[in-house]
Amino acid sequence: MDFKRIITLLVFLTSSITLVGQKMIPIGFENNRSKIQMETTNSSTRITKSESLRGDKSLEWRWKGGATLSFHQPIGYAPKGQDATNKHLDTFSFWIFNEKANKDSLKVSFLDNGVEKSYFYYHLNFTGWRTAWVSFDRDMNGTPSTKMDELQFVAPKSVQNGTFYLDEIITATPIDPRHHIADHQVPFVNSNAVLSANKHWIALEYFSSFITKNPITATDNVTETQKEGIHTIEQRLQSMFMEGADKTKNIDKWITKIRDKYEIYSSSNIKGQFVYFASYPALYSSEKKPTKHLSYGIDLKTYTISLYKIAQQYHLTNNRVEKKHLAKLFTEMVKNMRKYGWAAGSGQGTLHHLGYSFRDYYPAMFLMRESLEVEGLLDSVCKDMAWFSGLGKIIEPKDRYVGINVDMLNTTLMGNLSTCLMSKQDGVKVSYLNALQDWLIYGVDYVPGLLAPFKPDGSFFHHYNHYPLYAKDALDGSTPVFFAISKTPFALPEYNAEIVKQALLKMHLYSHNLVLPISMSGRHPYGDRTISSIPFYYMAKTISSNPNKDIDPELGSIYVALAEKEGKNRSEQIKEFTDKGVVAETNPQGNWSMNYASLNMHRKADWLFSVKGFNAYLWGSEIYAKANAYGRYVSYGHYQLQREIDGKEKTGFQMEGYDWNRYPGTTAIHLPLDKLAGNVIQVDHLSGYEELLISDEKFGASISMGSQGIYAMKLHEHDKYHGSHRATKSYFMFDDYVLMLGSDIENNVKGYNTETTLFQNSTASGKTTVKVNNQDVVKKGTVQVKKDETLILDNMSSGWYVPHDGNKLMVKYNKQDSKDPRSKDPNHGTFYSAWINHGVAPKNESYEYALLINTTEKELEQFAKQQKGQKNYYVAQKDRNAHIVKDQHSNTWGYAIFNNRLNKNFEGPLQHTNIPTLAMVKEGENMMEVEVCNPDLNLYQGKDFDQYNEDGTRHEVSIYSRLWSKSVSLPVHMTLSFKGTFHVDGNDQVVTQLIVNGNTEVTVKLQHGLSQHLKLVKIQQ
């Protein structure tokens, strides 16, 4: 008989009620008391301590098939955000404990005055606690209403009776649309996650489906070589997972401490603490302090670290009693976390960025696989590992993905490998290892456009740009895997391993003493971000160009050099290499270009000079609300000089007091910090709260020839800020000096000066003074230098030669007030600075200056004296069409040709080109050495019209929304006309070579921003 019961309960709320419009969150059953009206049919409810989530109480609902439980209160739903700062989706969330799994579903409905408006079905194929985040607008059936006033649960009709426990019911709360996850209970949630940039975190149900539909079965007739390979990999993992572990002196006391912390009881009545995930506060984003909801239970990362330590202690002791106690503690903790939803098929509402909290789980399970088997947990844990590591991706059809996500390489690849080895059957291990190898072969390869991670020039992509900080973590996480499988039947092939090696070699070049330039530190411009020696160690052992050696000599020598500087205990690994004849590498010398990074590196002696820009493909700065707030100008042609002084890394940078308007080398509008701060919004559902602005100018690239190089860019600020701001900039790197040219500097911004910064050095760096025209700068303040030629020797032993802009040159020595780019808290410091003042709203302004690195006052004066006769360099052209320079010492011409559509020829040996060009020409006797590249990555042609408004200005777009971001760099044919008659010696990329009117026309195929070297030999008449 169906009957209805209306109850008014004194419900105990987990937190005080928070109002967001009409929202009230959450409904819980602890602490503060508030009346909530509930209605039931064919069921009963009570507050109980039988099961609980974060406190000691929950709502017990005993039901019969088809019973209902309703909460009468405003749901608080609001339509999805449409403005620029809010794309959140109002979301329902709850926790439910199921005593017995079944194949039916719980219906969750939302009613308005008794009429159902929205609903979904929650599958009950689980036991223990589970949760879900289900958005009204995207994920549910029906059409939600802002007037909804009833939440109703309908028990499964096919089941005679049962009991659920409910807790943490949140009727409506705004959540970032990227974060919801589909799982076995709600497989319909966020269905487009399989196409999103965070697919690796959120598409676990999708990955799992491949294993469900096409199970990987055991390989028949496992060979002895495969068995040996499995054994080798397992031994290597065992060694890696135990590295650095020390035995605890008093195991019993240590176990008691862990039990007290996690409240683990006997195996017959396990009731450990709730294990929560660090991303849970996203549920409470409307509150001022959402992280307060993490004060209950144990953090997942802390919990899994403890599991890992227990596993290590198990292998460090030979005492049987201790082993027994450790195994019991370990398996009890595994059962406890599984009870709270850390089990296969459970998505925990979100698993966004799970890998960073879960990486220690996999080695712990691998080390304790025998104990798990004894306890009957091995099969379940194998499934858990496969689920959380997204192992199904290794058999995902290849037409559905390209490359490998960097977060996977960093946090889950080792978990994937560990999972492949959990089975007791070698045949199953072989099948999984073969699938993993196949996936790696396809993924560790060059990928098109802005996709991650590997590019032909050694760039390493994440967030649709070269991102060394993520590269460092990804290679730290993946190279131990590449080593573990090396020299076995499941190894990464030589071609793929070489791709990883080339990325590492470039990483070594664009860092100095492990420290990354600020321009390549992403949203962390603090001057202290470093790479790691770890991937060099593992890849040196993974590949070797010499089959008679176990260690790649090139990577090995870099490892020894870096490890010695790292300051960590690497003595054992260093000895491993040096005992085999590996010698630490000396500082690399030369010039290198990376046009997928819009970057040039110039190295000599013990210093690194790097310069970086941006363009129509590559964003210039990553700004978050609480990270890099003032970083807009970091790629406006920013250079940085890194060197070692008195055994310490010195750059002149200091965050305290730094003027974020004056990154060295940049041409920028000097603004108050509140106007410089990024206006961070969420552009669309593909992006987060971030600012990743691109230009509409495709020219932002570099070229290298031996020890010399050029970087050049057409700077155009985004219309989100000052779209009238433009400049044409170039940097010619000739051995010990760098020549900087700027032209066509313009904007219509009133009230603020436009400046090109030479340097900004903290007084805490280098020497104690700066000299301007042989005079010490001792008086604090700003000085306008009124000379046509100015010589500056700064406190970092850098010399600055400014030939024509003396009356606009400003030098400052003073305390500076600034703000932290994260917290925006005020700070201060004392700096020496120099800049060229182009004035307010400049038109057709320009500059020219040279930097002499590690110089003396005498050498600087000698350079100036020689330059009066143009004996150092000759500027042949400096305008919006081209910057052309000749280095007199090496007889080398540098060409940055921005506009090729000219009727007249260029000065020097290169007369004309058919497209914008970067070129270097070194003239010799009866021959020329030529380097050429297309500065356009050529991911699309013409304009990206979607970025433009009707008036021709640009609006902000998400880089992830650009259709061309996945395009292949299209090859182009560049035709160059050289003065005189020559023939080209062997280059298979040369398409044609012709003699036309006494000149030589060469057409060469170019792609990926890579350069081609041409040797032109004079044709004797």
Q: Which residues of 449-464 are buried (b: 16+ CB within 10 A; e: fewer)?
A: bbbbbbbbbbbbbbbb
Tokens of 306: 């403890």
| Alpha helix stretches (DSSP H) within 695-798 | none
Query: Is 463 an active-site residue?
Result: yes
C-beta neighbour count of 318 within 10 angstroms: 8
Three-state DSSP at 638 gives strand
Contact indicator for 413, 439 with CB cutoff of 8 Å = no
Distance CA 98, CA 785 (A): 78
Element (H, E) at 761: strand 753-762
Distance CA 167, CA 155 (A): 16
How many residues are recorded in the chain? 1021
> Contacts from 967-970 at CB under 8 Å and sequence distance 24+?
967/448, 967/449, 967/939, 967/940, 968/448, 968/449, 968/939, 969/448, 969/449, 969/937, 969/938, 969/939, 969/1007, 969/1008, 969/1009, 970/938, 970/939, 970/941, 970/1007
Q: Is 964 left (phi over 0), alpha (psi -120 to 50) or beta?
A: alpha
Give Cα separations from 57 to 48, 95, 167, 252 (angstroms).
5, 13, 8, 32
Residue with tokens 């946090």: 411
Tell how strand 141-142 and strand 23-25 pair up: unpaired
Q: Which residue type does 572 have? A: E
Angle at 178 between CA 173 and CA 184, to 5 degrees: 85
List all residues 6 or more positions away from 405 whose beta carbon is below 8 Å from its beta carbon. 199, 200, 452, 453
Element (H, E) at 117: strand 115-123
Nearest alpha-carbon partner for 700 in 610, 618, 601: 618
Tokens of 930: 């030529």
C-beta neighbour count of 548 within 10 angstroms: 5
Q: Which residue type does 79 have? A: P
Q: Where are the beta strands (DSSP E) in 820-924?
A: 826-840, 845-852, 873-878, 882-887, 892-897, 910-913, 917-924
Q: State the catalytic residue, choosing from 464, 470, 737, 895.
A: 470
Q: State the catalytic residue, choosing from 353, 889, 973, 1013.
A: 353
Q: State the catalytic residue, choosing from 88, 462, 463, 912.
A: 463
Query: Is 602 an active-site residue?
Result: no
Tokens of 182: 């589909």
Please state at what angle helix 426-443 crosses helix 413-420, rounded to 10 degrees: 150
Q: Is 348 left (phi over 0), alpha (psi -120 to 50) or beta?
A: left
Maximum Cα interatomic distance, the chain, rounded to a whole number of Å: 111
Distance CA 247, CA 43 (A): 54
Distance CA 894, CA 43 (A): 84
Contact indicator for 740, 836 with CB cutoff of 8 Å = no
C-beta neighbour count of 224 within 10 angstroms: 7
Q: Give 3-state DSSP helix, strand, coil % of the chain, rounded to 5.
A: 25, 30, 40
Element (H, E) at 63: strand 58-72
Tokens of 744: 């066509």
Q: Which residue type does 563 have? A: A
Enumerate the active-site residues: 353, 463, 470
